[in-house]
Amino acid sequence: MKITKIEQAKRRKNRINVFIDGEFSFACMKNCVVDLDLYRERELTAVELEKIKKKAVFGDAREYLFNIISRKTYSERELRRKLIFRKTDAEFIDELIDKMKELGLVNDDRMRTDYADYLISQNKYSKNEIILKLKKKMLFDENDEELKEKLSVADDSEVIRTIMKKRIVKNDDAKKNIEFFLRRGFRYEDVSEILKEFKKELKWHHY
């Protein structure tokens, strides 16, 4: 078998199409030309071609990860899910994730700490909301002692006060306010106590 043509893909300028014996064989990122030593007239055995194709697939998945990570931070489990959804070969997934870790692009412990700190600093989420948001990003770890400490120090009552000060200007209906905070994961006891504080200053509807 022989590489008879290497041409740029028409729709994607960063990819090339490789033809073997006059027929399209596979596509890959442009850097594959150098990385995989691809050139016209190169003779290949069936085994060599199969290895090249696998390396090309791996290279595509790696570039995909670089691309999405450059725009947003992802947890390891999120990246694994994206690779699976993209139908990446299972044999490549562990290697790809390990490569991202090696480069410092994936670090769940650091991301969990940074994200928890950010959510707490916003002073608008209950502890339950923070846990749910961490779970959504597949970062929550009930055995993380540092996270436990952060959540134990976070004060839901202060968050309720901060939000309540803004809400009462538009809505002083106690029942609706209680329902609002309960939906967001705050404890009834905490909400009720803060409402009593505000009730001394404002005329609340009965509840």
Handedness of CA 134, 138, 141, 144 (dihedral sign): negative
Segment 150-185, tens digit of pLDDT: 999 889 999 999 998 887 766 667 788 889 999 999
Where in the chain does DSSP place strands (E)? 3-8, 15-20, 23-29
Domain spans of the chain, in order of start: 3-102, 107-154, 156-207
Q: CA separation (Å) from 158 to 85, 145, 201?
A: 41, 23, 18
Residue 201's pLDDT band, with cuts at 50, 70 and 90, is: low
CB contact at 8 A, 33 and 16: yes
Give the CA-trace dihedral at 62, 65, 70, 71, to 10 degrees: 150
Question: Taking 90 as the threshold, does the pLDDT of residue 35 lie above it?
Answer: no
Segment 54-72, tens digit of pLDDT: 888 898 899 999 999 999 8
More confident residue, 58 or 10: 58
Instruction: Measure CA 198 to chain center.
Output: 39
pLDDT at 172: 66
The pTM of this model reads 0.69
DSSP state of 169: T
pLDDT at 32: 82
Q: Phi and psi at residue 164, in whole multiples of 5°?
A: -60, -40
Six-digit token string for 93 = 């997934």
pLDDT at 202: 60
| The architecture CATH gives domain 3-102 | Orthogonal Bundle (1.10)
pLDDT at 207: 45
